[in-house]
Structure 1
Amino acid sequence: MKRPRLALALSLCLALGASPLLSAQTAPPLPASASSAPLLEAITVSGVQPGPGLWTVTRGDHTLLILGTLSPIPRDVTWKTDQIDDALAHAGELILPPKVEIKPNVGFFGRLALLPSLIGVRNAPDDATLQQTLPPDVYQRWLAVKARYIGDNRKVERYRPIFAAVELYKEAVKKAGLRKSGDITRTVVDLATKHNVRQVPVPYTLLVDDPRAVVKAFKRSTLDDVSCFTQSVDNIDAQLADMTRRANAWATGDMTNLRDDRRAKQLQTCLDAITEGGVAQRAGIADVPREVRTLWLATVDDAMAHNAQTVAIVPIDDLLGDDGYLAALKAKGYTVQSPDDE
């Protein structure tokens, strides 16, 4: 069974590579100038729009309505909340998005002692540079997108490829005028508060025993992350355009155009690079996506057992696909109806 993709690809990557081990909350062209970065058309969905559709999950007389959240989205995108507002007005509980934390299984002073060993943890073993690590053609393509989105950052040249890819993604999203989907979740939480709906968190915490040994082993280890890096470099411009298209689709309830097989493939490649290494498996990090999905499904089972109606918020990337949460619900015997079927 494949692991759920989620933004776990980024959170687990950061958990392996920085202080989030304490707490983890993605002919060679010549380098282009930063001014050549693609400009995305600003999106403001106006007028009477249906807003994002809700998946309907049923078993007997019990109903679960799921809002899939999209990230990132344009800063000025708006969406109509009538449907989710009405759903919450008749709901017994709101299941919040899963939250993952990866922490050292030590006390306060143990965490302080761990901090020095975290210095340089993003860097490649033996101080190798990206130019030394990557195939020449991939490195030339990297220089082009780095010039557009990151600029003259020499430190990133000593990062492992997967951490350089994370830095590229973060800076490209920022330059494109996009933002995280936190406002969507906050809006839903505010609506739930207005209707006095009980909010149910889905927290998963992995306690890492002997974290200093894990950090040392990770610094010495290699990751099979060149494929993840290559896809990130080659897809970044198209991804920014796709983000605009998907944001429009999300705000207007167009489920067909929310699907993005290229993004799903890239996320899975990067997640595999993180979780299939020996260090990740010994620390238990490889099991996190499966454990999070199991915890979420158990939370749904409990809510469906005692509520006539429940609402849940889940990232779109976790919902869709053969290994997504919707497929898992069907496998458990629930009836799942897409917004397209309404």
Structure 2
Amino acid sequence: MRALRENLVIRHIMLLAVLTTALALSDHALAQDDGDVVDLDVVLVSGARPAPGLWRAVKGEKTLLIMGTLTPVPRGLIWHADAVREQIAGADVILGPPGISVGTNVGLIQGALALPAYRKLRRNPDGKQLSDILTPDQYAQWSRLKQTYIGRDRSVERLRPVNAATELSDAAIKRVGLVSQDLIQPVVKEIARDAGIEIIPTTMRIVVENPREVLAELNAGNLNDRDCLVRTMERLDSDLQNMAERANAWADGDVAALRSMTHINDRAACTQVLASTKLAAQAGITDVNAAVTQKWFAELDQALSGHNTIFATLPVARVLEEGGVLAELERRGFTVHAPGGGE
């Protein structure tokens, strides 16, 4: 039982580092009164929207259909899937979204939330607070942003920087009328179930062979994660505006607008928190994004070896980034068609 609990805690703290990126997003906002929505310079769309159609990558008899996903999205948005439902249902197999899982029985992660060890892992070692870790200027910036988006909750002052960054980001997203909700996966799973289509996981799996040692390491030391919080604070105000604009463009299926927007990876410092741990070193991970992408392509190659039509979901930033997934597919001999018939 102790080994199981330790395993759960380790998986959760590792995932916290990953969840601050576009690889795997979920709602970790603090329990709080919603308060007033912070005004933006863009009005968020709502209701049923189409989102982008499917990118088609074709090579001979092989066809890969890619749905570009996005979080956060405007609160109250509904994905209108009718335009692509038939194409998804016609796939031979479906590739799940990329990401990282640590340990086994991922569905049990939430069981760690009530454990004293989990609470200890979320906090800085030796009772330090953020005021002890950040410079005076950085802490002043944290105090301003915390007051605006989180409020008076003092418990966040004891969080490790990577966890404080997650709480701040999620609270800010919530306050501007966005929500970290995946609108695509529930619909895709429903279509797959009704059509009897297999969903192949593409997450990179890290197995913890020595949970007690890793747990002790995480509890005792820092995670080299100050830059994660600093970068999050530096970009938060401006990126909230960018998030809202991207969310509107994605909801309306405006690929041209999405392509014209600069996708700044301000979460890189947070992603690399995982790579700085002994657990990542044991798994041979030095670049989280590269490792996740490599795993996704490995699963794609396996699927293509036995099937002609594959459907996949990927964060739209990964789809559109220069030199990213689409470029790699073209390098492998695929002809890529954008939604609406564009190249």
Q: TM-score, normalised by structure 1?
A: 0.77
Task: Describe how 1:116-155 pairs up with structure 2 within 5 A.
Answer: 117-155=117-155
- Corresponding position of 1:268: 268
Q: How much has 1:166 moved relative to structure 2? A: 0.8
Q: Measured at CA, do residues 327 and 211 of structure 1 come closer, stay the same or move farther in structure 2, by a change above 3 Å? A: farther
Which residue matches 2:25? none
Partner residue, 1:100: 100
CA distance in 2, matches of 1:255, 1:338: 8
Structure 1 residues 61-82: Cα deviation after superposition (integer angstroms, max 9, x where no partner): 2111100110111122234323
Give, in whole Å, the separation in 2 of the partners of 1:278 and 1:66: 34
Flag structure 1 segments of 5+ consecutive residues without an equivalent.
Answer: 1-14, 27-33
Q: 1:297, 1:329 within 8 Å by CA — same for their partners in 2?
A: no
**How far off its partner does 1:53 sit?**
2.7
What residue number does 2:38 align with?
37
Query: 1: distance between equivalents of 2:210 and 2:142?
Result: 36
**Structure 1 residues 16 and 71, CA, compared in 2 at 3 Å: closer, same or farther?**
farther
Q: Distance in 1 between matches of 2:129 and 2:14?
A: 27
Map 1:1-342 to 2 at 5 A.
Answer: 20=12, 26=20, 35=36, 37-38=38-39, 41-44=43-46, 51-98=51-98, 100-103=100-103, 117-258=117-258, 264-278=264-278, 280-282=280-282, 286=286, 289-322=289-322, 324-339=324-339, 341=342
Distance 1:262 1:282, change over 3 A: farther
**Structure 2 counterpart SS, 1:65:** strand
Q: Conserved in 1, the CA contact under 8 Å of 2:99 and 2:204?
A: yes
Structure 2: segments with no counterpart, 5+ residues: 1-6, 21-34
Pairwise CA distance, 1:119:
4.0
- Give the percent of matched residue pairs that are identical in Structure 1 and Structure 2: 33
- SS of equivalent to 1:182: coil
- The residue type equivalent to 1:158 in the other structure is R
Letter of the structure 2 residue corresponding to residue 57 of structure 1: A
CA contact (8 A) 1:95 1:202 kept: yes
SS of 2:265 mapped into structure 1: helix
Superimposed CA distance per residue, residues 103-124 of structure 1 (whole angstroms, 9 cap, x where no aligned partner)? 279xx9xx99xx6544411222
SS of 1:68's equivalent in the other structure is strand
Letter in 1 for 2:46: T
Question: Structure 2 length normalisation: TM-score?
Answer: 0.77
Match of 2:31 in 1: none
Q: Helix, strand or coil for the counterpart of 2:122?
A: coil
Give me the CA root mean square deviation: 3.4
Deviation at 1:326, TM superposition (A): 2.8
